[in-house]
A and B are shown apart, each in its own frame.
Chain A
Amino acid sequence: MINENSLYIIMRAASCFFATALLTQSGSLTQFVAQNGLASPSTLGIGSLPLLSLLLFSILKLIFFPDWAGQIQEWPLMLLLYLLFTPLFLRLFRHSFVKFPILLGLGINLSIIGLYQLIQFIFIAENRPFPYDLYMGSFKQVDSNRFLFITIIFIVGQFWLTNLQRRLRPLLLGKEFAEGLGVNTNNLKFEVYLFTFLMAGAITFPFGLLNFLDLTLPHLIRALFPWSRKLKTELFLGTFFMAAFVTTLDMLCYFFPWKGAEFSLGLVSSCFGPLILVYLVWRKIDEKKYAI
């Protein structure tokens, strides 16, 4: 019989694997459609939209239910609130984002982070508990509900991606070439952004923000596995290798705590993600003798 601790470790490892795989796939897709190595849900602003939903939820809770002790899990409610953003997302992304993704994404990211700091200040001034957990992603709070949820999302996501990657491959030689073949590239871009929007919500609410993984891991796949320089292999084979690597990292965080406290994966990714990216860019500049 599997004891409770083993079951927890299995659920945690599987959840980490599924969430990381979905994040990496979102990053690969956005970089491919934007034809830009800087594109990812975090830089496009999609990654910070769940944060906006968290802020709204916290404000609504403070106004209407100030004494709510939190008997039920809050993340499904936040996810529901996030899904209410979909019409706003559709309006915003349908026209503007397909044309100027990085610039607008940067604007949205900075505004949401500014708002986050302002509301955090108000909560501290009001002497109210502020939900910090979501800001630094971790898989330590995994339970059967979260595990079941991310498993279903992962399976649905893989079916969606199998279909989507086939339609995306004409973009291999850029937008103009694909349009010459009669492909509606704007609709495809929009579908990719919708995929990343839904995945960002489905990962962030149960487990928190995992910064930079979506930006860094696709680059790491291309650097470590040169044979994966095709969209299909990068999206599946390369991604599963990376997800296994991040899962091992999470297990190390679990088995080797620092003075009794566990490092969160979000913290590790925030620290090492940008460093890996800087190293990869330097290596590329060195190889090709030109700036990127």
Chain B
Amino acid sequence: MKLNFDVLHMRPSFVSHGMYLELGRCHGIWGENGIGKTRYLTFLKQLQLINPRPTSRFWAFLDQAPYENYYDCTVFDLAEELFSLSHLPWKQKPKEQFLSILHQLNQQNMLHENYKRLSGGQRQILKWALILVQEFDFLFLDEPFQQLDEAKRDWACEQIQLQKQQGKGIALVDHNWPRLEVLCEQIFELKKIETTDEKLTFILKERKN
């Protein structure tokens, strides 16, 4: 379970590791700031280490980076525009499901707001709503609870449990150890063990609950 990061070329050079992602389970990734959790998650997504490999290979990714909107348009316009694209991996009736999620969270007012004027928390809710209307077998979540209030965090935890029950696999990066313990069947810790001029060596260690 050793992973080398080629810092110079910003690429993880894979040696060997035993982290296999499984459907119906939640795998937590834990580690200090700047250790490379996001990069590792992206790496996993690229490799699609899903075991057993599903027939359809749809995955969804909720990342940390804020979404940009080049045009000044409302959330409703954005949703209409995106859900009209039938070639994207949306579930059945995505617009209705999207509106129902916002209604459930009492955030329907946000629909007529300009996207650029949304708060950080509202943007995170929008990310969640857009993720949940996608068809996927595997969900990659990079710090999905940031900027959410307590009630919304609980709602997000419920969604993760619900997705697991539906047989979806989840990889979750979070800094909150107790929450990881509740949500995940398996937690890996990313640790830096040595530094040389060009390479940093990391150890991915499974931590038992």
- A residues near B, CB below 8 A? 31-32, 35, 166-167, 169-170, 172-177, 179-182, 222, 229-231
Contacts and interface: CB of A to CB of B under 8 A. Distances in A.
Contact of B82 (A167, A170, A176): A170
Contacts of A32: 70
Contacts of A169: 81-82, 85
A230 B89 contact: no
Given A173-B82, A230-B71, 11 more contacts: A166-B85, A172-B82, A173-B67, A176-B63, A176-B65, A180-B61, A180-B62, A229-B71, A229-B72, A230-B73, A230-B81
A98 B68 CA distance: 17
B69 A180 contact: no
Interface string B40-71: 00000000000000000011111101011111
A139 B77 CA distance: 39
A35 B82 contact: no
28 contacts: A31-B70, A32-B70, A35-B70, A169-B82, A169-B85, A172-B78, A172-B81, A173-B78, A174-B65, A174-B67, A174-B68, A176-B63, A176-B65, A177-B67, A179-B61, A180-B60, A180-B62, A180-B63, A180-B131, A181-B88, A181-B134, A182-B58, A182-B89, A229-B71, A229-B72, A230-B73, A230-B81, A231-B71
A173 B82 CA distance: 9
Contacts of B184: none
A212 B58 CA distance: 43
A32 B73 CA distance: 14
Contact of A229 (B61, B68, B73): B73
A230 B115 CA distance: 13
Contacts of B72: 229
Contacts of B26: none
B78 A177 contact: no
B46 to A, nearest CB: 11
Contacts of B73: 229-230
Ranked nearest first, the 5 interchain pairs of A and B with the lowest CB-CB distance are A174-B68, A180-B61, A173-B67, A229-B71, A176-B65
A172 B71 CA distance: 8
A170 B134 CA distance: 13
Contacts of B58: 182
A222 B134 CA distance: 31
A174 B116 CA distance: 13
Contacts of B60: 180
B60, B65, B81, B89: most-surrounded residue (chain A CB, <10 A): B81
Contacts of A167: 87
B170 interface: no
B29 interface: no
